[in-house]
Amino acid sequence: PSPPTIQLEGRHYLIDEWTNLSSHISSALPRKLHLQPSHPLSITRRLIESRFPGPTYQYHNDLSPIVSVHQNFDSLGFPINHPGRSRTDTYYINKDTVLRTHTSAHQADTFRSGTSDGFLISADVYRRDAIDRSHYPIFHQMEGARMWSRDACKARGGVPAVIREEIESMPKHGINGASEEPLRVRWVEAYFPFTSPSWELEVYWQGNWLELLGCGVVQQSLPKNADIPDKIGWAFGVGLERIAMLLFGIPDIRLFWSLDKRFLEQFKEGEISRFVPFSKFPSCYKDVAFWLPSSSSAAGGQVSFHENDMMEIVRNVAGDLAEDVDEFTHPNTGRKSLCFRINYRSLERTLKNDEANSLQKAVKRVLVEEFGVEVRG
Min separation Cβ 117 and ligand PHE, Å? 17
The residue from 137, 216, 223, 233 that contacts ligand PHE (CB under 6 A) is: 216
Stretch of 18-26, 60-68, 163-171, 233-241 contacting ligand PHE, by CB under 6 A: 233-241
Q: Which residues are within 8 A (CB) of 144 and not within 5 positions of it... i.e. 6 or more apart?
A: 52, 57, 118, 119, 120, 121, 235, 236, 237, 238
Stretch of 2-10, 212-220, 301-309, 355-363 contacting ligand PHE, by CB under 6 A: 212-220
Distance separating alpha carbons of residues 98 and 94, to the nearest angstrom: 7
Q: Does 118 bind ligand PHE (CB under 6 A)?
A: no
Amino acid at 107: Q
Q: Does 343 bind ligand PHE (CB under 6 A)?
A: no
Q: Which residue, judged by CB position, is nearest to ligand PHE in the bound state?
A: 237
Min separation Cβ 218 and ligand PHE, Å? 7
The residue from 34, 102, 128, 315 that contacts ligand PHE (CB under 6 A) is: 102
DSSP 104-136: GGGHHHHHHH---SEEEEEEEEE-----BTTB-
CB 236 within 8 A of CB 248: no
Stretch of 168-176, 214-222, 319-327, 341-349 contacting ligand PHE, by CB under 6 A: 214-222
Amino acid at 175: I
Min separation Cβ 325 and ligand PHE, Å? 23
Phi/psi of residue 68, nearest 5 degrees: -80, 160
Q: Does 65 bind ligand PHE (CB under 6 A)?
A: no
Q: Does 78 bind ligand PHE (CB under 6 A)?
A: no
DSSP 182-248: PPPEEEEEEEETTEEEEEEEEEEETTEEEEEEEEEEEPTHHHHHTT-TTEEEEEEEEEHHHHHHHHH
Min separation Cβ 143 and ligand PHE, Å? 6
Q: Does 75 bind ligand PHE (CB under 6 A)?
A: no
Q: Does 236 bind ligand PHE (CB under 6 A)?
A: yes
The residue from 40, 214, 223, 233 that contacts ligand PHE (CB under 6 A) is: 214
Distance separating alpha carbons of residues 174 and 142, to the nearest angstrom: 20
Stretch of 174-182, 235-243, 248-256, 345-353 contacting ligand PHE, by CB under 6 A: 235-243
CB 112 within 8 A of CB 227: yes
Amino acid at 258: S
Strand 338-344, strand 284-291: pairing: antiparallel
In the complex, which residues of this chain contact ligand PHE (CB under 6 A)?
102, 104, 143, 192, 195, 198, 214-216, 235-237
